[in-house]
Amino acid sequence: MSGQLKLYEDFEGYNAYPLQDAEKMIRTRIGKQVRIMRDEVDKCLSNAKEHGKEKLISEVLTLEKRIDRMITQIEERDRIYVPAYLRERITKLDEDKLEEIDSRVENILNKCEETIQQLSCAETDMHIIDRFTEINNNLRQMENLCHERSKLLVKDSAQG
């Protein structure tokens, strides 16, 4: 365990807990960061509406839909995820793969957060559409990583 991931603060590793609990801990932390991002994007939407910036409103709404879909997937995972025969522990190799994916997810979240904090959503911001496109592309990558993470966990549970 690298110990450097913010997602892993006070987390002893996937093998330190039942897999269902460990996975939920990390997923909940990812979800919390995504919700914070959603709140920041919502502030930008309010500002865009206030200034009547139609093109920007469209971009922000597109991004909000993606974020909302991610939040729903994160929250609904509890209802569909764990089969009764789920193994309690995962292999070291799989834990390393999960940590690598989690690290990439956290890096994307950090990039998105940094980009959002730079947004003024003001009339004079000429690059705002590009920044929203960048955030949207990053979130698409994050979705792919989360699917990869899920496949790894399902693959591990099927081996049990």
Crossing angle (nearest 10°) for helices 54-80 and 19-50: 160
Nearest by Cα to 68 from 29, 106, 42: 42
> Is 0.75 surpassed by the pTM of this model?
yes
pLDDT, residue 78, reads 60
pLDDT, residue 125, reads 66
The answer, yes or no, to whether residue 55 has pLDDT greater than 50, is yes
- d(CA 90, CA 15) in angstroms, rounded, equals 6
3-state SS track over 106-118: HHHHHHHHHHHHH
pLDDT, residue 92, reads 67
pLDDT, residue 30, reads 93
DSSP-assigned letter for residue 81: S
Q: What is the mean pLDDT of residues 114-124?
A: 75
pLDDT, residue 45, reads 87
